[in-house]
Structure 1
């Protein structure tokens, strides 16, 4: 996203001890490893000798001091086979009042939770306001929502997603010439994310991308394929705070750090797109280079079903009315 922020420089003081006292023999530290707050696995190469670095003179004079020796270590984010994601995505839409939450154990489940919750039960649909609460505070809301919608809930209830970051993708509008979505990023860890970035892959909709209103966003074409939209916060606002206590820590649940934007699309360049059927939802989502877990189902569009039911009800009422008068 920004090559100027892809490197880090630091100074190390090394003291020699007998029998290694030859000042001309310098051996850099080996086996480098870097741990990140969201991407904990970085694969680092061996130190490579490079030209000595220059840094400001410690005395404050307007001159540079040259290091005795400098090495370069290149590290890249890796995705070990079988490793759990660190972020997840929930889906919602204007045509369905329930939220499809992150998958059960999307980012792994601690072994001690198997006795109190189910690691295999599918996640329970939620009311939209439940996304603002930590998972441990959603149980009562999920059960009440299920009762209201006449749905059954598993017993025991499914475990949480256990993800440090969750992203809600909400299909906001859909009309003849375009459509829009709302993206909300939630940070459930205490560690803040400065200079964050994200990307969504949309196979059918990217060519219709128009604008993001609270993030910097642009469509990215790689190898002739235009299916990815990258985004980051606006200058000076590209900072997602960590989770904090509520106004009353003894009563109120923890409050996640969050940022939100609306993104608009046009249908001029994507004829035949069916937003409600799934074209309006991303097939892959990345946050800070980490691929996020997606829900296994999409929000359903019950408008046609409800319309058919309404017509059938009217037909039956007219039929009964005619039979009574005969």
Structure 2
């Protein structure tokens, strides 16, 4: 009975581990490490190791870049390497004369930095460990190095495949399977008239799990719209608030701590120095429903970096929305559809333009990138009701972001607000105020003027809400005006008229009457 329970527990753990590494938006995404033995040596072989990133929108940044490790099956050593290096040499004291490059039984290999001598380079090496996403830049989604292995056997029968492969990119998150011998790789000559093949080939497949990479999300999402003046912020502590170091944006500590540590901890999530926010996320993605046309509608996307020690190079943003299958134009970003399930085209990948905004700078005045997406309406499904205009999922650099709760999405003016969000109507406020004034004696003539102005103000607000409701779902050739075009314009609610300062001042004075805070006139009792 105990044995059966143990087997069931192990089987369940295996299923859960596989499920945790499954990405529904990129079900076939993985990193494949391929070993090709190209020639034999007196005590081993020379192999070319190729790392292919087949993930559509998840890449590995540099520095520190990728790190590949394994455990030798026998007592192998690394005599030399080209295009990469082992991080530790290990104990090579038993060797006389020629000293191996690495004698550790569990070597860890990293890429070389750009600019190394040509005799230490091979094709697709020396990028500092950077590995681009396949959907973003297929040519840069491959890395390679050459390794000369000794004490390993000199035939296909005596060579043993290494075990316990690991991949850091740059931190944890990847799980690698065992090496499997596959048919030898075939190579074409430069003139493509001759084929050669490797002497032996094995593959290792590594998959990514966000749950293994971090306990909390690394980004969050906020919403706003032109038809509602409410900004839905990121959830409180969306990325966890425990054991995180943060500073205020104007703190003097940034001049010392942030700049000194930025170079040492570039790419290290644990050493992040965040700007103090309620969500405590390194990155926030804001989606703003901006404009409504007769046949089109427009959304604005802004990505903000709150990490003072991180520049996000070759960043990617993935959004899932049913109208992303009909994108007309994307401004300031590059765009590619992510079609994982045949004809279902509801996912898009956005990334920066090369040499323009493909790097999201550290937190500060330049720590944001933004763009707008113009989409054609589908009359059979388009609506602004029930938060339809907002994305279902958002990923930044391959990690899923924390979304706001569904009941907090901006709602239409003619729709019932969520529970707890209902506000008193202008008419009810005026009635309550009038009854309160009736309880007072010796009203001044200016008080009656306040009541009259408030009454007209309530009528104006009701008229605005009705006009905004008409624009919300009806087709229109007129676009809402955007009073400014900059970073701050993301949060400007198009279609919301400017408030009249005089009426607002009178409203504040009237509230002072109700709460007994007016100092100019005292009421008789």
Q: 1:263 to 1:71 in 2, by over 3 A?
A: same
Secondary structure of 2:404's counterpart equals coil
Q: What's the counterpart of residue 374 of structure 2?
A: 264
Q: What's the counterpart of residue 145 of structure 2?
A: 10
Q: 1:87 to 1:14 in 2, by over 3 A?
A: farther
Q: What's the counterpart of residue 287 of structure 1?
A: 396
Secondary structure of 1:73's counterpart equals strand
Q: CA deviation at 1:11?
A: 3.2
The reply on whether 1:30 has 2:139 as its aligned counterpart is no
Looking at CA atoms only, which structure, 1 or 2, has the larger radius of gyration?
2
Q: 1:31 to 1:188 in 2, by over 3 A?
A: farther
Unaligned stretches of 5+ residues in structure 2: 1-55, 57-133, 188-196, 251-275, 416-421, 432-450, 457-525
State the alpha-carbon separation in 1 of the partners of residues 375 and 247 from structure 2: 32
Contact 2:317 2:349 in 1 (8 A): yes
**CA distances 1:78-129 after superposition (whole Å, capped 9, x unpaired):** 244894322211112234445322212222332589xxxxxxxxxxxxxxxx
Secondary structure of 1:34's counterpart equals strand
Q: 1:298 to 1:235 in 2, by over 3 A?
A: same
Contact 1:95 1:303 in 2 (8 A): no
Q: CA deviation at 1:187?
A: 3.1
Aligned length: 260
State the alpha-carbon separation in 1 of the partners of residues 312 and 179 from structure 2: 28
Q: What's the counterpart of residue 298 of structure 1?
A: 409
CA RMSD between the two structures: 4.5
Counterparts of residues 245-264 of structure 1 (less than 5 Å): 254-255=364-365, 257-264=367-374
Q: 1:187 to 1:70 in 2, by over 3 A?
A: farther
Contact 1:109 1:159 in 2 (8 A): no
State the alpha-carbon separation in 2 of the partners of residues 256 and 294 from structure 1: 25
Superposition TM-score, scaled by structure 2 size: 0.40
Contact 1:47 1:72 in 2 (8 A): yes
State the alpha-carbon separation in 1 of the partners of residues 223 and 396 from structure 2: 16
Contact 1:219 1:230 in 2 (8 A): yes
Q: CA deviation at 1:67?
A: 8.8
Question: Which one is further off, 208-217 or 191-200?
Answer: 191-200
Unaligned stretches of 5+ residues in structure 1: 55-65, 114-133, 139-157, 245-253, 322-326
Q: 1:242 to 1:207 in 2, by over 3 A?
A: closer
State the alpha-carbon separation in 1 of the partners of residues 198 and 381 from structure 2: 62
Q: What's the counterpart of residue 294 of structure 2?
A: 176
Contact 1:194 1:238 in 2 (8 A): no
Secondary structure of 2:369's counterpart equals strand
**CA distances 1:226-272 after superposition (whole Å, capped 9, x unpaired):** 3222222234446223415xxxxxxxxx45632211001222x2345
State the alpha-carbon separation in 1 of the partners of residues 317 and 163 from structure 2: 32
Q: What's the counterpart of residue 462 of structure 2?
A: none
Q: What's the counterpart of residue 240 of structure 1?
A: 359
Which has more helix, going by share of residues?
A: 2
Contact 2:282 2:305 in 1 (8 A): yes
The reply on whether 1:187 has 2:320 as its aligned counterpart is no
Contact 1:192 1:239 in 2 (8 A): no
**CA distances 1:130-166 after superposition (whole Å, capped 9, x unpaired):** xxxx88449xxxxxxxxxxxxxxxxxxx974333322
Secondary structure of 1:103's counterpart equals coil
Counterparts of residues 183-222 of structure 1 (less than 5 Å): 183-189=301-307, 190-203=309-322, 205-221=323-339, 222=341
Q: 1:277 to 1:186 in 2, by over 3 A?
A: same
Q: 1:135 to 1:112 in 2, by over 3 A?
A: closer
State the alpha-carbon separation in 2 of the partners of residues 68 and 242 from structure 1: 46
Superposition TM-score, scaled by structure 1 size: 0.61
